Chain A
Amino acid sequence: MISTEPAVLVLEDGKRYAGRAYGARGRTLGEAVFATGMTGYQETLSDPSYAGQIVLQTAPHIGNTGTNDDDLESAKIWVAGYVVRDPSRMVSNFRATRSLDDDLVSGGIVGISGVDTRAITRHLRSLGAMRAGIFSGDDFELSDSEQLAIVRDAEDMAGRNLSKEVSTPERYTIDAVGERIGSVAVLDLGVKTSTLRYLAQRGFDVVVLPESVTTEEVVALEPSALFYSNGPGDPEASERHVQLLRDVLAEKIPYFGICFGNQLLGRALGFGTYKLPFGHRGINQPVLDKTTGRVEITSQNHGFAVDAPREGVVDSPAGFGRVEVSHLSLNDNVVEGIRCLDIDAFSVQYHPEAAAGPHDSMYLFDRFRDMVLAIDKGEPQTEIHSIIDGKNQ
């Protein structure tokens, strides 16, 4: 039977949800968010973008297929805390090597189960993501007001820079798979294993750089392109990475970014970013490619978004030439991709590498590759842009 040890989820607005202790015992603090994917809990947990967040899974049954080494998206579990309804009592999958419970305990992840996850989701949807804490073991014994005070003392996600926590301490390289076409410098702001794998599979030597890298170091690598990964935190608090990007773009190095990398491109081009009320975290998110009119079902995980004009072509306020919003969320019209028309740079807010999620957008890695090839061949700017905007496909 499942544990009957008590635990409580406390939200900063004073709401309390009593449940059972899950994973490690103790206390954890973070921003409470909900994720709606029905598969891929292991990928979600090991996605560095979730650093600092207490993640609630809306799918009730979690852990059924256990965990394995192949499905990890990074070396460890990053979520600050985990909220589920019905954790599995056993593991059933031929690839599983251990249970999710094992991983949570060994990773020191405090969780809670047996709560009305839908009620919490609806609450967060109405009031927005907010600070929260999970208390179990000895910390469960703290008084309600003590627990609430602890939650309210925690750091807010807005204005928070988490890149240092998730980035690689040392540079490392992954060799291209198959025919090598060049190299890509990846700024690790919380990069996922799948992203690196897909880049290598497109023929790039992938050089993964710590977030502290300087412009000079990047330029010295003479990469075919620069890539900014996904990652946690408020893009407004990452001014150094924005400046790095501006400097590299000024060096005419092509750029591709995903998620956080989209927000930072937006800021580098001179647009603002803002915090979404409760974010987009799911693997069923429809995105419209404005050029082709096609809809792709995407994997998303972002709490911030770029504030750029949704229609038409505008000039980059930071002086990088013409820019347009290339992709929009069909659910709420949030900017999901931007593209430069006068420099070789584009990015998307969602996750073409999926993991977890549908593979509909995998073609973006091909576009990136084609763009780099065309630049190498010295194709004219117009040709390069018809690659980026998909008109050539």
Chain B
Amino acid sequence: MPRREDIKSVLVIGSGPIVIGQACEFDYSGTQACRVLREEGVRVILVNSNPATIMTDPDFADATYIEPITWQVIETIIAKEKPDAILPTLGGQTALNAAIDLHKHGILEKYDVELIGASFEAINKGEDRQIFKQLVLDAGADVARSHIAHTVEEAVEFALDLGYPLVVRPSFTMGGLGSGFAYTETELRRIVGDGLHQSPTTEVLLEESILGWKEYELELMRDTADNTVVVCSIENVDPVGVHTGDSITVAPALTLTDREYQNMRNIGIDIIRAVGVDTGGCNIQFAIDPANGRVIVIEMNPRVSRSSALASKATGFPIAKIAAKLAIGYHLDEIPNDITKVTPASFEPTLDYVVVKVPRFAFEKFPAADTTLTTTMKSVGEAMAIGRNYTQALQKALRSLEKRGSSFHWEPLDASKDELLALASVPTDGRIVTVQQALRAGATAEEAFEATKIDPWFIDQIVLINEVAEAIASSENADTNMFLLAKEHGFSDAQIAALRGFGEKEVREVRHILGVRPVFKTVDTCAGEFPALTPYHYSSYDQETEVEPSERRKVVILGSGPNRIGQGVEFDYSCVHASFALSDAGFETIMINCNPETVSTDYDTSDRLYFEPLTLEDVLEVIHAESQSGELVGVVVQLGGQTALGLAKGLKAAGVPILGTTPEAIDLAEERGLFSKILDDANLLAPKNGTASDFTGAVTIAEDIGYPVLVRPSYVLGGRGMEIVYDSPSLEDYFSRMAGQGIIDPSHPLLVDRFLDDAIEIDVDALYDGHELYVGGIMEHIEEAGIHSGDSSCTLPPVTLGREVIDRVRIATLAIAQGIGVQGLLNVQFAIGQGILYVLEANPRASRTVPFVAKALGIPLAKAASRIMVGSTIAELKDEGMLPVVDGSIVPMDSPIAVKEAVLPFKRFRTKDGLIVDSLLGPEMRSTGEVMGIDRDFPRAFAKSQEAAYGGLPTSGTVFVSVSDRDKRAIVLPVLRLLELGFDILATAGTAEVLNRNGITARIVRKYSEGASTDGDEPTVVDLINRNEVDIVVNTPSGSSARADGYEIRAAAVAADKPLFTTIAQLGAAVASFEATREGFDVSSLQEYAIARAGRL
């Protein structure tokens, strides 16, 4: 059937902010969908609250709404745009839940809009565990024995039947949120209690344990003619018990016979049919008992999922793109295979390589968190690698993580075999390396299997890697055979160097002299059966290379690697934009990246894609391959975050041209002494500071400049290891915690800065071409200085800064740009306190806020920066129309206000005792994502940002207030306003005293440390929060000690999902927005804002 003519406009729902379990894979799928629909002539309306995404670029839709994803807001958009259909299957669980809400509130019926991609019935069948279970049984397949519970007591009762351990899974949550294994009744009560709370339908499923079984996933697609294909099989190396998002996974499945695989495939097809997904894709998870082959269906997602993105990249079959085409009526056999062009999409990709995905965790950001992996997803990103065999792919994937200790190593053992086996028996970040060490320490493959239940075949592959390492170390000469053996099994030059006691550089030189270099193979969906016309490559030490010569001028763009806190989709946005802009300017663009979730690793984005680790070795080999023909103009390093930037020096040393700001100039900004000189020359002030490489040095400096001080290691992103330290014991504690992480040493000294209390922080993104400065945007932080810029909310344009301050900021930015010698992007952070402007830091690279600026003001900073890097001037870009004539430092009075708010993952992390980790904001970044609220004034924009990030603020109820002494003055006015708005005020004794003296009636509540009164009549505030008697929590931390009370309050607030304000500035903004919230929201598209902006000029 050709495309449906009755669908002329489609509303696509995005997935909102990046959170654990729902990351930029949905930007990839959404972007593909938008592209496809527009190519088909469909008018695309998009709603997504996440400004960092590529899909919200105004070029990708006809009407782009950066608005909260709630059914109410979507109804407003539907009323305005009148779409024919809604596509909710490409925006993760967020979009699916929004669609369910729209259905339940009768909106779809009211406006006569059709759900495409999956019907409400199909969504319900896939997501409702009871219905799904029956449907699986009807299909003749098996499920784990289970019961549905709606109360904790019911759950305890059922547990008697199922036995411990058992699995708890809440209904309708994503990324396994709220689920877990209960080994005892106490654990069961806690997990079920949480799970019931997380589930929108207050129900949990209790299941028999299938811990240790093999786990598999299938990605399927089906059309309205009932044509069904299995796009990819994925095998989890970590057995059942670890969330698939946290597992090391491999594609295709490697330990199944054809019978077992076909049985699973048959079940999958029966299920997708029974659920009724007939215009899209779904993902089904299976468990197989390794002892007898019994197959159990775990769950299915009737939508594009994280695994679909992985499967798309792993196979070259673009699931989201095809899903969008199916949604508007096409059949699979009417859609061509993108890669071969001549064969249809109605086939099943076959792989002649192995793909391994490894998760990237961020436990270092949450030191108190329990690192045990469970059925609740905890990883923040992932890296994928492609090799011609498993060992190659695995080792490439592990080094793609860019994390110390993530790769296999052969340093002296630091624990005994038994200790290592015991460690490996608990799944944690890096378990695979522990297994490798245990095998080195003498564990047999059987012992490793017993400890981990990892399939013996995968264990044997690690044994093989250890054997190869032994052969490398003992080889008489570093000859061709040694190198070929090492490379065949994925060893990096660095690993070979460590094994043979050489430097990495020397190893590489010898290898190159011997002529041992990788070839590049192609991902072609068909194992070579048909010619591939799309250059999607991976390296392998094999015999034949498939890189086609090209005489064009080439630019290599380095991506940003796996998502982590501090480096996420924002950098992918910049890389993708650079690729588009440089392609438009006539260059051949070559992307290197290893993150399967991204748009940059879509083979449609750049002229050539290399799916490779972002290490110096791997990047140099791609550059060598591409240098065999045409002219390599240079490499873009300033858009891929610290990952790409970190490679600049090494590339330059190897003779590779770096585009834009030179590596020396990058150093100038990073190196404290040199940077101070630039500031001195420009008459600019930095907070008093110094550098130290050890504890003694740090104390001397801190005492010299005075506490509190802000300490941070140099060359890190996301404020890793950055803290505010109030006294020398705390400083000592800091050093002891940082020890052994290898981030502070004489070549990477610690930076110690005077911490500015009560200052306003300002972020500037600007372009400089050597002649002219172009300010992209000046952002005012809502929280005071001291909160990492990635975690703090900010407003663009600024709302409390005067013209004169903005002028000073502009002049200072220009001076810094000149001083460093920027060619491209520059981000500067300022603080203004008591009228004095301080420069906190400057980074000559793309910042996290580049996409926010682009969405808020319509200035395409990343595109412009990439052009500047290849020689265009700002004047030329203005003439071309790429850059608006007036830059972002001057924003007209009637422009809308955009507020960026960070989204934090505290709910995901528990301490070993099951408590929530502290949710206090600080100088180390902890947020996973962001949202934007845009409206005509600040209160409305702020209200939208809160709605989008946290589901909105209550407009009535009880506010609990407990603030530190330094905040007591500032608290009076906002609380008075809350009282006037009709809120009840509750406060701890100290805060209540201040409020009551200022005429604000506040009820006193006991502190947590005071405990409830013996008769129970006077509960503590924590009890009240737990009992749902508090609606808003205001708690600012007091100094360095006595944080326990604050911690308990904040943890309770996070657990109970209540709005929590830890700074007065946030509270002030919130108070201002209450009235705006009461009226409901108006919506405007970015395209409408652009027209208004053009009208103003």
- Residue of B349, B528, B546 near A34 (CB, 8 A) is B528
Complexed CA–CA distance, A357 and B529 (Å): 17
Q: Is the pair A288, B333 in contact by a Cβ cutoff of 8 Å?
A: yes
A–B complex contacts, Cβ < 8 Å, 19 sampled: A58-B527, A59-B352, A60-B353, A85-B388, A86-B390, A89-B460, A92-B255, A92-B460, A94-B293, A118-B388, A118-B544, A119-B544, A121-B528, A286-B343, A286-B346, A286-B347, A293-B331, A357-B258, A358-B348
Complexed CA–CA distance, A127 and B229 (Å): 30
Whether, in the assembled complex, B419 has its beta carbon less than 8 Å from a beta carbon of chain A, the answer is no
Whether, in the assembled complex, A136 has its beta carbon less than 8 Å from a beta carbon of chain B, the answer is no
Given A17-B543, A59-B351, A86-B389, is A94 in contact with B291 using a C-beta cutoff of 8 Å? yes
Q: Is the pair B344, A330 in contact by a Cβ cutoff of 8 Å?
A: yes
Whether, in the assembled complex, B467 has its beta carbon less than 8 Å from a beta carbon of chain A, the answer is yes
Complexed CA–CA distance, A373 and B760 (Å): 86
Q: Is the pair B456, A58 in contact by a Cβ cutoff of 8 Å?
A: no
Q: Is the pair A36, B265 in contact by a Cβ cutoff of 8 Å?
A: no
A375 to chain B, nearest CB (A): 29
Closest chain B residue to A281, Cβ basis: B529
Q: Is the pair A58, B352 in contact by a Cβ cutoff of 8 Å?
A: yes
Interface 1/0 per residue, B135-162 and A, CB below 8 Å: 0000000000000000000000000000
- Residue of B256, B343, B346, B530 near A295 (CB, 8 A) is B346
Whether, in the assembled complex, B736 has its beta carbon less than 8 Å from a beta carbon of chain A, the answer is no
Which residues between 217 and 262 of chain B lie within 8 Å of chain A, taking CB atoms? 225-227, 229-230, 252-259, 261-262
B1041 to chain A, nearest CB (A): 55
Which residues between 196 and 217 of chain A lie within 8 Å of chain B, taking CB atoms? none
Given A90-B457, A118-B544, A359-B266, is A331 in contact with B347 using a C-beta cutoff of 8 Å? yes
Which residues between 309 and 353 of chain A lie within 8 Å of chain B, taking CB atoms? 330-332
Whether, in the assembled complex, A128 has its beta carbon less than 8 Å from a beta carbon of chain B, the answer is no
Whether, in the assembled complex, B350 has its beta carbon less than 8 Å from a beta carbon of chain A, the answer is yes
Q: Which residues of B contact A95 (CB under 8 A)?
A: 257, 293
Complexed CA–CA distance, A60 and B527 (Å): 10
Which of B226, B253, B331, B348 has the most CB atoms of chain A within a 10 A radius of its CB?
Answer: B348
Q: Is the pair A294, B227 in contact by a Cβ cutoff of 8 Å?
A: yes
Whether, in the assembled complex, B455 has its beta carbon less than 8 Å from a beta carbon of chain A, the answer is yes
Interface 1/0 per residue, B539-557 and A, CB below 8 Å: 0001110100000000000
Q: Is the pair A118, B258 in contact by a Cβ cutoff of 8 Å?
A: no
Interface 1/0 per residue, B503-546 and A, CB below 8 Å: 00000000000000000010000111111000000000011101
Whether, in the assembled complex, B464 has its beta carbon less than 8 Å from a beta carbon of chain A, the answer is yes
- Residue of B225, B349, B460, B544 near A284 (CB, 8 A) is B349
Whether, in the assembled complex, A49 has its beta carbon less than 8 Å from a beta carbon of chain B, the answer is no
- Residue of A38, A94, A295, A356 near B227 (CB, 8 A) is A295
Closest chain B residue to A282, Cβ basis: B350
Which of B349, B457, B467 has the most CB atoms of chain A within a 10 A radius of its CB?
Answer: B457
Q: Is the pair A93, B255 in contact by a Cβ cutoff of 8 Å?
A: yes
Closest chain A residue to B223, Cβ basis: A295
- Residue of A285, A295, A355, A357 near B332 (CB, 8 A) is A295
Q: Is the pair A65, B257 in contact by a Cβ cutoff of 8 Å?
A: yes
The 6 tightest CB contacts between A and B, nearest first, are A40-B258, A119-B544, A116-B543, A58-B527, A121-B528, A356-B258
Interface 1/0 per residue, B378-401 and A, CB below 8 Å: 000000000011100000000000
Q: Which residues of A contact B352 (CB under 8 A)?
A: 36, 58-60, 117-118, 121
Complexed CA–CA distance, A355 and B292 (Å): 20
Q: Is the pair A330, B257 in contact by a Cβ cutoff of 8 Å?
A: no
Given A92-B455, A295-B227, is A357 in contact with B346 using a C-beta cutoff of 8 Å? no
- B-to-A contact residues, CB < 8 Å: 225-227, 229-230, 252-259, 261-262, 265-266, 290-293, 331-333, 342-344, 346-354, 388-390, 455-457, 460, 464, 467, 521, 526-531, 542-544, 546
Q: Is the pair A71, B266 in contact by a Cβ cutoff of 8 Å?
A: no
In the complex, how many residues of chain A place their beta carbon closer than 8 angstroms to a beta carbon of chain B? 54
- Residue of A17, A43, A70, A89 near B464 (CB, 8 A) is A89
- A-to-B contact residues, CB < 8 Å: 1, 17, 34, 36-40, 42-43, 58-61, 64-65, 70-71, 85-86, 88-90, 92-95, 115-119, 121-122, 125, 282-286, 288, 293-295, 297, 330-332, 354-359
Which of A37, A117, A284, A295 has the most CB atoms of chain B within a 10 A radius of its CB?
Answer: A295
Q: Which residues of B contact A89 (CB under 8 A)?
A: 460, 464
Consensus secondary structure, chain B interface:
loop
B446 to chain A, nearest CB (A): 11
Consensus secondary structure, chain A interface:
loop
List 14 additional contacts besides A37-B350, A119-B544, A121-B527; criterion CB under 8 Å: A36-B352, A40-B257, A64-B254, A94-B291, A94-B293, A118-B542, A284-B350, A285-B347, A294-B226, A295-B331, A331-B530, A332-B342, A354-B262, A359-B266
Q: Is the pair A282, B529 in contact by a Cβ cutoff of 8 Å?
A: yes
Q: Which residues of B contact A332 (CB under 8 A)?
A: 342-343
Which of B258, B455, B464 has the most CB atoms of chain A within a 10 A radius of its CB?
Answer: B258
Given A94-B290, A286-B344, A330-B343, is A39 in contact with B261 using a C-beta cutoff of 8 Å? yes
B319 to chain A, nearest CB (A): 16
Closest chain A residue to B468, Cβ basis: A1
Complexed CA–CA distance, A283 and B233 (Å): 14
Q: Which residues of A contact B333 (CB under 8 A)?
A: 286, 288, 295, 330
Q: Is the pair A358, B265 in contact by a Cβ cutoff of 8 Å?
A: yes
Closest chain B residue to A356, Cβ basis: B258
Q: Is the pair B521, A118 in contact by a Cβ cutoff of 8 Å?
A: yes
Given A40-B258, A90-B457, A294-B226, is A125 in contact with B344 using a C-beta cutoff of 8 Å? no
- Residue of A17, A37, A297 near B229 (CB, 8 A) is A297
Q: Is the pair A122, B528 in contact by a Cβ cutoff of 8 Å?
A: yes
Q: Is the pair B347, A90 in contact by a Cβ cutoff of 8 Å?
A: no
- Residue of A59, A60, A122, A356 near B544 (CB, 8 A) is A122
Closest chain B residue to A67, Cβ basis: B257
A333 to chain B, nearest CB (A): 10
Q: Is the pair A116, B262 in contact by a Cβ cutoff of 8 Å?
A: no
Complexed CA–CA distance, A1 and B456 (Å): 16
Complexed CA–CA distance, A284 and B337 (Å): 14
Complexed CA–CA distance, A194 and B457 (Å): 28
Q: Is the pair A294, B456 in contact by a Cβ cutoff of 8 Å?
A: no
